[in-house]
Amino acid sequence: MKLLKDWGFWTACVIIVVIIYLSVATYLRWFNLNFFVGPLRLTHWFVWIGALFIAIYTPIYYVLKRRYQKRLLTLLQIHMFGNLFAFMLVSIHYAQQVGRPPLFFPDLGTGWTLYIVMLILVVSGFLHRFRIIGSIRPHLNRFLHVAVTMSFYIIIITHVLQGIGIL
């Protein structure tokens, strides 16, 4: 019952519904996001912004939550809502890519793996933050969340290096 009174829970749920709606709408081409802004397509800017936020703020959050324990709730909210927003930007990019016609379908490679890793991070973070499944031990879920975060860094570096043609 306490969960139902938590504004953070409901805000996170609304953001997740918006992510699903925008992803489906982008996949089905309800929105025309296939245009350039400078040298990159709009959705590529989205993915760069989202991935950079996650890649930069996650280690900052790790350090700051230990150094400024009185501000833990604020730092956690930035981590949670910032990463959900970043995941929304990444999801729009991913939906744009997989929604392309068969003739122009991309080689998903590490992009597919990276999206699954990010989905695991969102789900494990949501379950851990709101303690949804009581049978999952918090330390086990935290271990999963941290381990998958490390996978995110390895895969994102590989994905970017492939994207710019180095690998």
- Domain-by-domain residue ranges, the chain? 3-163
pLDDT of residue 4: 85
Residues 18-25, mean pLDDT to the nearest whole number = 98
Residues 124-129, mean pLDDT to the nearest whole number = 88
pTM above 0.85, yes or no: yes
List of long-range contacts for 6-14, beta carbons under 8 Å, 24+ apart: 6/130, 8/77, 8/80, 8/129, 8/130, 9/130, 11/81, 12/80, 12/81, 12/84, 12/126, 12/129, 12/130
pLDDT of residue 138: 64
Q: Is the pLDDT of residue 68 over 70?
A: yes
Q: Is the pLDDT of residue 133 over 70?
A: yes
Q: Is the pLDDT of residue 1 over 80?
A: no
